């Protein structure tokens, strides 16, 4: 597996969890400490820290040191890569669906009893 594919797999795995997605949504509003990130959840700080480690390993967040706290920041690079992958594949899927729609429309227009063309 290529490094970019591996990064993408780690990104999508991190995004698969709703708690981690909610954490990223919160960080999109600005930096936050672990305590601030834990507030809306019925989870321990230790559980939130585990989620943060997954997000950090995926390159979706980073942590800095500010006095006694370690605020978390959203890192958008990997999200941009995932969005680019989705966008490229969405275009491919849409083209395939368009061809399927055209084929189905052609089948509906064909008079009954008329043999279908070879190769279709």
Q: What is the pLDDT of residue 1?
A: 57
How confident is the model over 9-49, as pLDDT tens digits? 999 999 999 999 999 999 999 999 988 999 999 998 899 99
Q: Give the residue from 54, 70, 67 showing the smallest Cα distance to 9.
A: 54
Confidence of residue 115 (pLDDT cuts 50, 70, 90): low
How confident is the model over 68-89, as pLDDT tens digits? 778 999 999 999 989 998 998 8
Q: Give the residue from 78, 68, 110 showing the smallest Cα distance to 9.
A: 78
Calpha distance 44→104 (Å, rounded): 54
The pTM of this model reads: 0.72
Q: Is the pLDDT of residue 116 over 80?
A: no
């Amino acid at each position: 597996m290529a490094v970019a594919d591996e990064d993408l797999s780690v990104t999508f795995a991190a995004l698969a969890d709703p708690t981690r997605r909610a954490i990223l949504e919160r960080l999109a509003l600005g930096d936050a400490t672990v305590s601030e990130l834990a507030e809306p959840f019925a989870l321990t700080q230790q559980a939130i820290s585990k989620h943060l480690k997954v997000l950090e390993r995926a390159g979706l967040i980073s942590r800095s040191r500010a006095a006694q706290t370690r605020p978390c920041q959203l890192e958008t690079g990997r999200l941009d890569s995932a969005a680019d992958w989705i966008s490229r594949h969405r275009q491919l899927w849409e083209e395939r669906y368009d061809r399927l729609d055209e084929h189905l429309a052609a089948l509906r227009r064909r008079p009954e009893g008329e043999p279908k063309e070879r190769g279709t």
